[in-house]
Amino acid sequence: MHILDVLQETYSALSANKVRTGLTMLGIVIGIGSVIAMVSIGQGAQSSIQSSIQSIGSNLLIIMPGAQRGSGAQISTGRGGAITLLQSDADAINKEVSGISHVAAELSSRYQVTAKGQGTNTNTTVTGTTASYTSVRNLEIESGNFITDQNVKSLSKVAVLGPSTRDDLFGEGVDPVGKIIRIKSIEFKVVGVTKAKGGSGFSNQDDIIFIPLSSAQKYLTGSDYLSTISVQAESEDIMTVVQEDITALLLKRHKISDSASADFNIMNQSDILSTASTVTTTLTYLLAAIAGISLLVGGIGIMNMMLTTVTERTREIGLRKAIGAKRKDISLQFIIESIVLTFTGGAIGILLGCGISYAVNLLGIIQTTISVPSILLAFGVSTIIGIVFGYYPARRAASLNPIQALRYE
């Protein structure tokens, strides 16, 4: 029997009961659709978390004061108890550790800030830092300039605003360069605005004010400790080595012999990335597994319908056998019917899944990505479901005795 003839038989059989065919197919449509949508949402979450981690900089090691307790990353960053990092530490790292492209020392704290002559105020993070911060943290300037080495040397009272802070103090779209803000009643002149980066997993990089590190130490805190040293390694491969070198150097400088009682903590960006991607991968698997269960239920629906069909069409099967259909002709017909059901259902399901993923994208909930392998997999899975769940009904049809089949009422 030619395959085109089988397909013609299949078409007339399936179109004979459109409602039932449609409802059965719906099980597969929903199953495949949810697999595609879930996987795309999971992958979207993964890439959005990754890009958000990468937005804070690349190949970054962040050194923070505080004790490392146990083996986990339980960090105490309370400034009062952990004044351990100094500018000299940052300078030493820059000088003595190889494989480093930039080091930026930072001193952050929250203050109430007012804009002179505007009557507006906001509570935001004020970060004292150096010129290299822009390279380390991938920061770009929208207007004006960032803090220069000269500013740091001369303790200039200048400030660079994050875009959110600019909006809070001066309003959206206003260029605040040249205007005056007051931090702790000390006047700073705005010299630049950074470009928006979006929120990262750690802090809002847009709601921030940058001032020269030396000015922050002198005018705001009155001491020369640091809250963070950001180190950018030359490449991802050497990050572990650089981390170890920095640890050794700081332990030596702080005169600590046991690394377990270190008074600082180093966060490695690639560790964070890999932890985050492990979490999101697990999440994706979980979502796919839930969707897979609905696919299984859909498959059982197909089998149920095929068994009903075989019973209903017992006399037809008898007639076909009487006029010369062999076992394999009959079983092929029912298998193909089941495959056509699941394949069509799968195709519609893929469209549905892509539609859902597109809608999620459009609503801005998450940036989803549909991968070609997941579509191919869905097609493969739906065909296999057709074969697996069509096999038993088809075998039952093929093994019917033509005499009994013809007599069946």
Partner 1 sequence: MIEVKNITKIYKTGDTELRAVDDVSFRIEDGEFVAIMGPSGSGKSTLMHILGALDTPTSGKYFLDNKDVSEFSDDELADIRKTKIGFVFQSFNLLPRTTVLRNVVLPLVYSGIPKKEREEKAKEALIAAGLDEGHFLHLSNQLSGGQIQRVAIARALVNNPTIILADEPTGNLDTKTGEIVLATFQKLNKEQCRTIILITHEKEVAEHAERIIFIRDGKIVSDDKKHNRRIIDQESLACKELFKK
> With respect to partner 1, which residue has the nearer C-beta, 12 or 98?
12
Verify binding: residue 19, partner 1, rule CB under 8 A: no
To partner 1, the closest distance from the beta carbon of 330 in angstroms equals 10
CB 224 within 8 A of CB 252: no
How many C-beta atoms surround the C-beta of residue 129 within 10 A? 27
Verify binding: residue 16, partner 1, rule CB under 8 A: yes
How deeply is 388 buried, as exposed, middle or buried, from its count of CB atoms within 10 A (0-12, 13-18, 19+)?
middle
> With respect to partner 1, which residue has the nearer C-beta, 271 or 316?
316
CA distances from residue 282 to 44, 289, 371 in whole angstroms, order as listed? 13, 10, 17
To partner 1, the closest distance from the beta carbon of 400 in angstroms equals 11
Verify binding: residue 245, partner 1, rule CB under 8 A: no
To partner 1, the closest distance from the beta carbon of 408 in angstroms equals 9
Residue from the set 3, 12, 78, 373 that interacts with partner 1 by CB under 8 A: 12
CA distances from residue 390 to 83, 303, 334, 337, 395 in whole angstroms, order as listed? 71, 6, 7, 8, 9
> With respect to partner 1, which residue has the nearer C-beta, 238 or 406?
406
To partner 1, the closest distance from the beta carbon of 304 in angstroms equals 22
To partner 1, the closest distance from the beta carbon of 329 in angstroms equals 6
CA pseudo-torsion sign 33, 34, 40, 41: positive
- 303-332 residues near partner 1, rule: CB under 8 A: 315-316, 319-329
To partner 1, the closest distance from the beta carbon of 398 in angstroms equals 9
CA distances from residue 403 to 320, 321, 326, 376, 397 in whole angstroms, order as listed? 11, 9, 14, 44, 13
To partner 1, the closest distance from the beta carbon of 338 in angstroms equals 20
> With respect to partner 1, which residue has the nearer C-beta, 73 or 322?
322
> With respect to partner 1, which residue has the nearer C-beta, 3 or 372?
3
For tokens 């930072």, the residue is 106
Please list the residues that pair with 103 across neighbouring strands: 231
> With respect to partner 1, which residue has the nearer C-beta, 105 or 398?
398
> With respect to partner 1, which residue has the nearer C-beta, 293 or 322?
322
CA distances from residue 275 to 49, 184, 278 in whole angstroms, order as listed? 11, 39, 5
Q: Which residues of 94-124 are buried (b: 16+ CB within 10 A; e: fewer)?
A: beebeebebbbbbbbeeeebbbeeeeeebeb
Alpha-carbon distance of 64 to 80, in angstroms, equals: 13
> Considering CB under 8 A, how many residues would be counted as binding partner 1?
21
Residue type, 215: S
> With respect to partner 1, which residue has the nearer C-beta, 96 or 329?
329
To partner 1, the closest distance from the beta carbon of 393 in angstroms equals 19
Verify binding: residue 267, partner 1, rule CB under 8 A: no
- 329-358 residues near partner 1, rule: CB under 8 A: 329
Question: Among 1-9, 184-192, 361-369, 371-379, which window interacts with partner 1 (CB under 8 A)?
Answer: 1-9
CA pseudo-torsion sign 7, 12, 18, 20: negative
Q: Which residues bind partner 1 (CB under 8 A)?
A: 1-2, 5, 12, 16, 315-316, 319-329, 402-403, 406
